[in-house]
Amino acid sequence: MKIHKLLFAAAVAALGFSHVASATDIYISGAPAVRAAWNIAIYNTLVSISGSAGLTKYWSGGTTSTGYNSANQIVITGGTIGGTPVTIYGSWTGSTAGNQAVAISPAESNSALRVKFLKLSDLTTPGGGYTLGSGNLQYPQFTLSDSFQNTVPFHGHVTLTTPATDYVTLTEAPTHSPAITAYKFVTNKNAPARLNNITTNLARQLFTSAGVPLALFTGSNSDQATFVYPVGRDIGSGARYILLAETGIGTSHNDQISQFSPAVTTGTITDIVDNPSTSGTINLISFPTGNGGYSSFSFVSTVLSAVSTDAVGYAVSYVTDTDATSVIAAGGHELSWNGVYYGSTYEGAHGTAPASIAEGQYTFWSYLHVYYNLTQINTYYPLAKTFADALAADLATDTTTTAILTSDLSVSRISDGGQVTGNYY
């Protein structure tokens, strides 16, 4: 991993820092779908700026085995930027919510969009196991996203929110689209092996209807009475918008998705609940009954780790490539996307890109971005901008984050779900 040291030196010099006594808090929100990549990169970036001596990590969420890497909230103390002590706070609310909270105009004008971070005074011992409790409500200073801003609704004047709200166009950190994350369609545990491919047409049918016959996947009339049901994330998730873009359902049709919340008892799916969610509001947007989804992958995983029968039906969902590893270990399996599997052969200068993605055959992926309100961050949070720019630079070269480096691809795209074209010439 290499960080461009000149980036920090130039930023610090421009800000004219000398020895500043007071600590500065940097608040970050955004995408949890690839939170391991973000959590690792945040720590590595701070190490590159100030060294590892004195850094202390705290977190909430995360599994026993992965701890900090998979945490939902993080705090890192003991770092400095240009001689100024800093404390880094991260709370992963989703790409959609992160874009909204940072882009709202006027900036920091709707308290409903504040994010709950861990409270430093509650953190007594380094490590994990903490809960948010009453929390530390703050507006994030920049956001981490697995989708372009124009993929989600929050740009310009938005009337589908209550109240109608204006949003600024966010600025991406100078190292644009430094890495990507890929997604897989996966089944629940013990789904039949013949349920092994999903096409663009099938995906559109599956995620906009009340389930589809297995026969549409297998081509066998003996599967007409067995159904496959869609399971996925709620409207706060960037992954859901990537699904909409990649399948051609369209990001403006978010309210047309139909997803289910199967009833699971002791590891068995006992019923496909007809009304998968109740009406509610997320990100100031009301959504109808039947249009819901899960707020995090952990809930999706509970369903995908459960067994079912032909009589009950099977579940198909979309998860990141790293989350798919957990699903497959629990007994689910991957579906090929339009006949192409994610693959196990890696290439590129750093060896992070599956050949199927690097050469353009597998297209279910999106770029990672670091976004901020340029005027707001320049005026009020210059240290946060220094850190945001450094974080994007780290993601472009850091092979420890589990993200796929953009520099390892032979292809590119200019929008989520857009045409993948070769960079061969």
18 vs 83: CA distance, rounded Å: 7
**115 in Cβ contact with 161 (< 8 Å):** no
Q: Look at residue 276 in the predicted model and tell me its pLDDT.
A: 47
Please report, as a single letter, which amino acid is at residue 268.
T
Tell me the average pLDDT of the chain: 90
pLDDT band at 275 (very low <50, low <70, confident <90, very high): very low
Is the torsion defined by CA of 126, 128, 134, 139 positive or negative?
A: positive
Tokens of 383: 């240290």
CA atoms within 13 A on the CB side of 345: 6
pTM listed for this prediction: 0.91
Q: What is the pLDDT of residues 218-274, one digit of tens each?
A: 999 999 999 999 999 888 788 999 999 999 999 988 888 888 989 999 999 999 875
Whether residue 2 has pLDDT greater than 80: no
- List of domains in the chain: 5-178+368-422 (no CATH), 181-358 (3.40.190.10)
| Of 404, 202, 224, the residue nearest 318 (C-alpha) | 202
247 vs 421: CA distance, rounded Å: 17
Q: Which residues pair with 142 in a beta bridge?
A: 28
Tokens of 124: 């007594």
Lowest mean pLDDT among 78-92, 254-268, 328-342: 254-268
Q: What is the pLDDT of residues 343-401, one digit of tens each?
A: 999 999 999 999 999 999 999 999 999 999 999 999 999 999 999 999 999 999 999 99
Q: What is the pLDDT of residues 402-419, one digit of tens each?
A: 899 999 999 999 999 999
Q: How many C-beta atoms surround the C-beta of residue 7 within 10 A?
A: 19
Mean pLDDT of 99-114: 95
Mean pLDDT of 117-140: 92
Using CA atoms, how far residue 107 sits from 80, 113, 165, 251, 388, in Å, is 26, 11, 11, 25, 18
Query: By three-state DSSP, how is residue 44 classified?
Result: helix
Whether residue 63 has pLDDT greater than 60: no
Query: By three-state DSSP, how is residue 413 classified?
Result: coil
Tokens of 68: 């900090």
